[in-house]
Structure 1
């Protein structure tokens, strides 16, 4: 696979960044590239994204390449921006398809690339699952560029063990009061602070990394002499395991009920954007490890990455437990960090990613024949 061609493809994808479930230009562009190389593909009926295949028969080995961008401020302007590496993931997915296409007659199975929308929204994978795209799949690989301080360029790890996450969007409901008569109402700001203080007192087993914090508290208006009775707030909950997140969620629910009783107020809200923690297949992880060592050398295969970040990739194994899955952590000298508006990385990792995934796909096919 030609490095310069991959870089050109990457730059074109980077420039057409689109947010979750609005990746229409991106979907059309990927389809046009695949058409040029006679790679069969199918777009999804009810949402953006597409699946592409080379080879035929069983086993079916997949790769998830997320296609959406973030909406963030870049140099004072709000815009869609690829600051999480999804443009690179798409490039590597297309490159892997083309590399396997060159010797398609020798393939002992089917390679299917899932160009998945809405990873940043946390539920795009569920739409792909609902469409039946992984029902006949045996093994699924993911890929994600990693920050420089985690893995350097020229190295890779055979799995990323993401944590689980969920968010709560809530409302504190009471009545406003006059600033001179605070006894006649409940200050929603006090209730909000009480929630935050209690959250800091939640303790789970220290063996399970976890955190819970308030990320938004909005109360009050333009009149400084009105004590606000209502407020909006958001909570961010994370744990390294799915069981740990469920424990944390239970403790937060108890906290909110206690604050309601203490202040005699109503608190309404919804749990949103749940993303499960990683459920890694040791078999898929082992295959990626072999591929990394083959391409980069024994010394450049790092230990699995453990991160409190989350990824909806893991819905695939939660919803389809028979699926063997693991995500490749690709060293890219990425800096200053993921989601930074000016994130950059070593573009030479694109070719490395293609080579490692090609090896992994062929290893699965050969071991199954």
Structure 2
């Protein structure tokens, strides 16, 4: 039997510190791969707790470890901000909640330590850079820092359209996303003699029309749309031979994304063959869909009930938004993982330059993550957690 821990009381006593942590992180945003000061601040906080800290010479982010040996339970937070226009000024801005996620993970660890908890194994905390570029999780996988993790938990604030303050879900079923860019090469000609040219705009139009005929399983959401098209110049009597385009692909499952990608490539190849054009396509950033482990999901569900009560447990939201957290489980299938979906009355929406949320959710989120760590170690050692 795991000794009961005064997590709620400890958090209540630390409430002012929780808000100070958030205020600092919120007012010091840094964009993807530029989070050097954020990394320094987080490393200092972790070292002050006596944790072992690993930073990297070639990139931002860090890993902190507490305890020894197996099993290993991980907590992950993203640390980067968006680059966007806020009141007419372009700047780094925490409008996706990463400042909140960092605060919640920091305070979950500090609360466990302040409560006297000793893990029967290792707690590994991943402060991951570059989530907004979809590259940070893959970088940490490449560095091998997740290879020994058995269970991994993350957190993401949810918009009010999904969940209200005081509510939470035990997983987030994010979809897969992919960007493609293409360059069309046709043949330039005089506008009076179009039969002598290959109009790159007409080729792009054929691609656009073809995308509208792409049909996948209607039971699994999937969509593709052209989001950028550039062609032609200032001389309007020239048949343009060059065009550039971009595509945004979304699918709710990884299998559906594979099918969608294959269909899109068929459309592009067909347009090239029909017009006799050359089309080069490059796959850009991509995110995989969620692969949620049911064991981790159940443990998170129990932690939510511990903190908020069964009446405030909500179903795991299904979101078309992407999240690179899921690369951990796709790249390392032995990791059992899920993300806490945290309700917080978030408005007007994620990525809005003036995103706001109920900050008391920071306390609930920190306690939930602290309790899921305790529950997971107890589960792995065949104990009951309280």
1:26, distance to aligned residue in structure 2 (A) = 0.9
Q: Residues of 2 paired with 1:246 and 1:368: CA distance?
A: 35
Distance verdict in 2 for CA 1:104–1:53, change over 3 Å = farther
1:8: which partner in 2? 20
Structure 1 contact 160–305 (Cα < 8 Å) conserved: yes
List alignment gaps of at least 5 residues for structure 1.
none
Q: Residues of 2 paired with 1:222 and 1:73: CA distance?
A: 30
Listed one character per residue, the Cα deviations across residues 102-156 of structure 1 (whole Å, up to 9, x for unaligned) are 2456322221110001111112101101111111111000110000110000000
> Is residue 222 of structure 1 aligned with residue 212 of structure 2?
no
> Is residue 97 of structure 1 aligned with residue 91 of structure 2?
no
2:300: which partner in 1? 288
Once structures 1 and 2 are overlaid, which stretch shifts more, 312-321 or 180-189? 180-189
Q: 2:221 aligns with which of 209, 222, 225?
A: 209
2:180: which partner in 1? 168
Following TM superposition, the consecutive aligned residue runs of length 4 or more in structure 1 with deviations greater than 6 angstroms are none
1:50, distance to aligned residue in structure 2 (A) = 0.3
Q: Residues of 1 paired with 2:244 and 2:344: CA distance?
A: 40
1:349: which partner in 2? 361
1:222, distance to aligned residue in structure 2 (A) = 2.5
1:274: which partner in 2? 286
Once structures 1 and 2 are overlaid, which stretch shifts more, 157-166 or 214-223? 214-223
Q: Residues of 2 paired with 1:238 and 1:72: CA distance?
A: 23
Q: 1:315 aligns with which of 327, 345, 348?
A: 327
1:236: which partner in 2? 248
Q: 2:156 aligns with which of 144, 158, 161?
A: 144
Q: 1:258 aligns with which of 256, 270, 274?
A: 270
1:14, distance to aligned residue in structure 2 (A) = 1.5
What CA RMSD, in Å, does the superposition of the two structures yield over aligned residues?
A: 1.3
Q: Residues of 1 paired with 2:197 and 2:27: CA distance?
A: 52
Q: 1:184 aligns with which of 191, 196, 213?
A: 196
1:99, distance to aligned residue in structure 2 (A) = 1.2
Structure 1 contact 53–97 (Cα < 8 Å) conserved: no
1:157: which partner in 2? 169
Q: Residues of 2 paired with 1:105 and 1:158: CA distance?
A: 23
Q: Residues of 2 paired with 1:201 and 1:135: CA distance?
A: 42
1:179, distance to aligned residue in structure 2 (A) = 2.8
Q: Residues of 2 paired with 1:198 and 1:28: CA distance?
A: 50
Q: How many residues align?
A: 369
> Is residue 52 of structure 1 aligned with residue 64 of structure 2?
yes
What is the TM-score with the length of structure 2 in the denominator? 0.93
Structure 1 contact 66–86 (Cα < 8 Å) conserved: yes
2:131: which partner in 1? 119
Q: Residues of 2 paired with 1:172 and 1:104: CA distance?
A: 63
List alignment gaps of at least 5 residues for structure 2.
1-10, 382-386
